[in-house]
């Protein structure tokens, strides 16, 4: 479910957006999610991505975007998906954080004031 105005333009390129969405949606699916909600916040510019999967423990939430950190090594996880998302967003002047959630994983992407459309 997408909650955003129709004419919204995020300060990132189409390629950056596709990479970000691919990894976040793939990650949600791999953790049992059947629904993903994306909510746009205008001031300051931010996206919230919430899924209904198994979620992220508070112990892992700080490390979840570090390269090679994975909770799915036994299932073939490499720990690179969210690290790639973080690197792509950094190029676009944004950062991603894992926030506490009652159900599933909740990520917030924040753009710095200096970010611009690509």
Average of pLDDT values for 83-99? 93
Q: Does residue 69 carry a pLDDT above 50?
A: yes
**Do 32 and 47 contact (CB within 8 A), yes or no?**
no
The whole-number pLDDT of residue 117 equals 44
pLDDT tens per residue, range 7-21 = 888 889 999 999 999
Whole-number Å distance between alpha carbons of 101 and 51: 10
Give the per-residue pLDDT at 77: 63
Entry pTM: 0.83
Model confidence pLDDT, tens digit, residues 39-65 = 998 888 899 999 999 988 888 888 888
| pLDDT value of residue 118 | 41
């Amino acid at each position: 479910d997408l909650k955003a105005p129709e004419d919204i333009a995020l300060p990132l390129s189409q390629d950056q957006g596709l990479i970000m969405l691919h990894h976040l949606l793939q990650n949600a699916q791999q953790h049992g999610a059947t629904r993903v909600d994306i909510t746009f916040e205008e001031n300051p510019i931010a996206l919230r991505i919430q899924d209904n999967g198994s979620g992220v423990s508070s112990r892992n939430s700080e490390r979840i975007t570090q390269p090679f950190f994975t909770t799915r090594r036994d299932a073939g996880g490499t720990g690179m998906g969210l690290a790639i998302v973080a690197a792509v967003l950094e190029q676009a002047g944004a950062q991603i954080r894992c926030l506490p959630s009652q159900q599933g994983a909740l990520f917030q992407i924040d753009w710095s004031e200096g970010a611009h459309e690509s």
